[in-house]
Chain A
């Protein structure tokens, strides 16, 4: 089966074709804000201007008649962006007379990595701009074991980076500056069971910037926030007795976070997997592949139920393609 996938939840507009065995092609058009962070309307305008281009690019290598389904990111994400890809997906599905399938963006991150790493049943740390969750599969669903009580780690990093005068995306710049640090400054560390909170740390970092070198603030910020994430992952591994940890989402590209997770897993005899950066960041292939899984298990989305779902939770998706409990 060949499925066309359209991803567009926040910053990256991406189209891809996948078959049962491989990613056939992918075309991307990233929205890069001229100043400040992601502006939902501007992002949607970027998507609207470029969606025909990315779709045309992936279709140029394939006979459209070979496509057996159209998948799109239905949520979670920014409403205006989701509506653009939803509209495009509906139009193509109708034109080709093939089934349409709305995909949960978070589940798609997990599925492409399970596909590429052969992990059967990992604990997943999903960290992106707006999302920060620890997930685990049980009885036909990815259960949310823990998540942020306020803002996502990526937004938290961006917010701090912006106030430090670093341009979007701030994460990689904070990571680089942190490597030059001399000392650790104490910052609010908030873990409640497997939930965590990042809002206090932004305020603390903004305050610390007034008197401490930016390098030290970046370092302390990362060390504190990432330690919170690693601690809840370890708690999840311990409580579920699972022994594999998978990292997903754009913030997962951070080398320091990867290192900390590697050390934690090594200490307790668990396995850690961080995929290639092209799959960590938002991509069309993950939507196409998850759509393929859903379609091959008889799931599709009627037009009437294909509206944008900005608050789409991963545990709303019934996972029929994993055997066992």
Chain B
């Protein structure tokens, strides 16, 4: 503890503690849900996060290095820098588009791609929070990722139209089927509503 451990955030699924060079993510029990479900979710997500985050990194997506897994706790490399939410511009959005194309091409859907879950460090965009990620190559999964990202732009940024456009420009560079993904996004948007 001499290095100083600071709790920085209590999220919806984990408490995050920061040390000098690493970050510890503790998936604490949530009392509101049934114990069986609670354990199942924490186990699944801890395993998912460690495994898929490492795999994404191998595929060329910048992510923190996983250092240790201990029960429901993951220790990983600390990436220093602001969250994308506070610094996003069109250049960054385009970079994010490229990264998501790489991620999706590796057969991985992030599951929670909001601007909070991206860090800018040394001119690179790091993706974090792979707890809801899955191995899924389907258009549906990729469409949901893009939809969730767009929603997070719309909820927090006035210039979301330009940011979406820049993201798509980046995504389309290497992902030739971007148009189909976009079609899926439109379809998802139209669901769950009255007709």
Contact = CB atoms under 8 A, between A and B. Distances in A.
A138 B155 contact: yes
Interface stretch (B4-12, B46-54, B55-63): B4-12
Interface stretch (B34-42, B86-94, B120-128): B34-42
B172 interface: no
Interface stretch (B19-27, B65-73, B97-105, B187-195): B187-195
Contacts, number: 110
A139 B160 CA distance: 14
A76 interface: yes
Interface residues of B, number: 36
Contacts of A57: none
B155 A311 contact: no
B176 interface: no
Given A76-B194, A193-B111, A234 B37 contact: no
A315 B193 CA distance: 14
Contacts of A148: 191-192
Nearest to A236: B12
Interface in A171-194: 184, 186, 189, 191-194
Given A143-B154, A310-B195, A239 B33 contact: no
Nearest to B149: A193
A32 interface: no
A145 B32 CA distance: 22
> Chain A: interface residue count, which band?
35 or more
B9 to A, nearest CB: 7
- Which of B112, B193, B194: most chain A Cβ within 10 A? B194
A291 B136 CA distance: 46
Contacts of A194: 114, 148, 151
A69 interface: no
A238 B113 CA distance: 16
Interface in A51-86: 75-79
A193 B32 CA distance: 19
Contact of A147 (B31, B145, B192): B192
Contacts of A244: none
A232 interface: yes
Contact of A143 (B37, B41, B132, B155): B155
A311 B36 contact: no
A192 B32 contact: no
A88 interface: no
B32 A227 contact: yes
B113 A193 contact: yes
Interface stretch (A17-25, A109-117, A260-268, A282-290): A260-268
A230 B33 contact: yes
Contact of A224 (B37, B152, B192): B37
A299 B194 CA distance: 25
A203 to B, nearest CB: 16
A226 to B, nearest CB: 8
Contact of A193 (B41, B132, B191): B132
A100 B31 CA distance: 48
A136 B31 CA distance: 25
Nearest to A238: B11
A195 B12 CA distance: 13
A239 B116 contact: yes
A52 B171 CA distance: 56
B77 interface: no
A320 interface: no
Interface stretch (A42-50, A149-157, A273-281): A149-157
B12 A231 contact: yes
Contacts of A227: 32-34, 37
Contact of B36 (A147, A184, A239): A184
A138 B155 CA distance: 8
12 contacts: A132-B192, A136-B155, A184-B36, A193-B148, A194-B151, A195-B151, A227-B33, A231-B30, A232-B12, A267-B31, A267-B32, A311-B194
Leading 9 A-B pairs by shortest Cβ distance: A235-B12, A234-B12, A263-B32, A193-B148, A193-B112, A260-B32, A148-B192, A227-B33, A184-B36
